Amino acid sequence: MSDNKTTSSTPLAPPSRSNGLFSDFRNFLWNYPKIRTLIRFDSEEKRNEYNQRILQRVGEGVDRYTILNVNQIGIEAPVSYVFNELLNWNGDSTCWPNHIAKVERIDNDIESIRILPFGWKKYLFRSQKSFLGFNFIPLFYLNSIRIKRFPDAFDFDNARYLLYKCSGGYPIGIFMMYVRSSIADMGEKEQAQLFFSVGFNFYGKEYHSKWSFLNRIWEGVHNRVTANVLNRIKQLSEWRIEKMEAGIY
């Protein structure tokens, strides 16, 4: 991964704030991210081995979920700082498409979150309970399985993460935001490495959907949005660190 650290001749700026559905579409779906984040593998066997290592690290059974993708980005900021950015994830974040899929903390708690399509809490027609048999409000629930706020004493990579079980209309079984120190032997140059990992199990069920074409559509949309989210978290974190180092705040 290339060294993305900025210099004084290229000052950083915070991510632009979305102001509606069109800007969310432009910033998170239409926009091609500056840094590609999806980890690609030479074979399905290598992908499965990588996925199993991730699941075992966070204590989840490898036989229950299949992670179809992992996105990664290097950030020139301390691990603890990046993790604090993740803990601040809410409906006002400039790094998330909140006009398309609004983040709402339940009881203002990071442990339980629901994602609302277009911010809707109810269907347009009160009598309507679903659309074509699928429930999309909320788009999905995130219920914490485990939030590791501090690394174990024996952790060599300073890892912290948020791991959620997902349910609802969006086809994800688990969702994880994971940050650790960079590993030089793996060619990682920045201070921290941030990962977003998902297990695509259609409509929360712990098996592969037979509707593979729908899985591919969801996966493609997810990958584009995730890449833009990670690029924006990187931009925001490095901008704030730069300002702190300059003594601005």
Q: How confident is the model at residue 249 (pLDDT cuts 50, 70, 90)?
A: low
What's the first-to-final CA gap in the chain, in angstroms? Answer: 30
Taking only the tens place, the pLDDT of each residue in 131-184 is: 545 566 778 889 999 999 998 888 788 999 999 988 776 666 788 999 999 999
Q: What pLDDT was estimated at residue 202? A: 44
Sheet holding 174-181, edge to edge: 67-75, 192-199, 174-181, 160-167, 140-148, 109-117, 101-106
Residue 188, pLDDT > 60, answer yes
With 0-12 CB in 10 A as exposed, 13-18 as middle and 19+ as buried, what is 138? buried
Q: Which residues contact 108 (CB under 8 A, 6 or more apart)?
A: none
Average pLDDT, the chain: 83
Q: What pLDDT was estimated at residue 147? A: 95
d(CA 54, CA 45): 14
Q: What pLDDT was estimated at residue 48? A: 81
Q: Which residues contact 114 (CB under 8 A, 6 or more apart)?
A: 104, 106, 138, 139, 140, 141, 142, 168
Q: What pLDDT was estimated at residue 109? A: 93
Residue 43, pLDDT > 90, answer no
With 0-12 CB in 10 A as exposed, 13-18 as middle and 19+ as buried, what is 119? middle
Decide: 223 and 196 in contact? Cβ < 8 Å: no
Residue 97, pLDDT > 70, answer yes
SS3 241: helix
Beta bridge partners of residue 211, listed in sequence order: none
Decide: 216 and 69 in contact? Cβ < 8 Å: no
- pTM, two decimals, is 0.85
Residue 203, pLDDT > 50, answer no
Q: Across residues 113-140, what is the average pLDDT?
A: 70
- CA neighbours closer than 13 Å in the CB half-sphere of residue 131: 12
Residue 130, pLDDT > 70, answer no
Q: What percent of the chain has pLDDT over 90?
A: 47
Residue 13, pLDDT > 50, answer yes
Domains of the chain are 21-96+143-245 (3.30.530)
d(CA 103, CA 216): 24
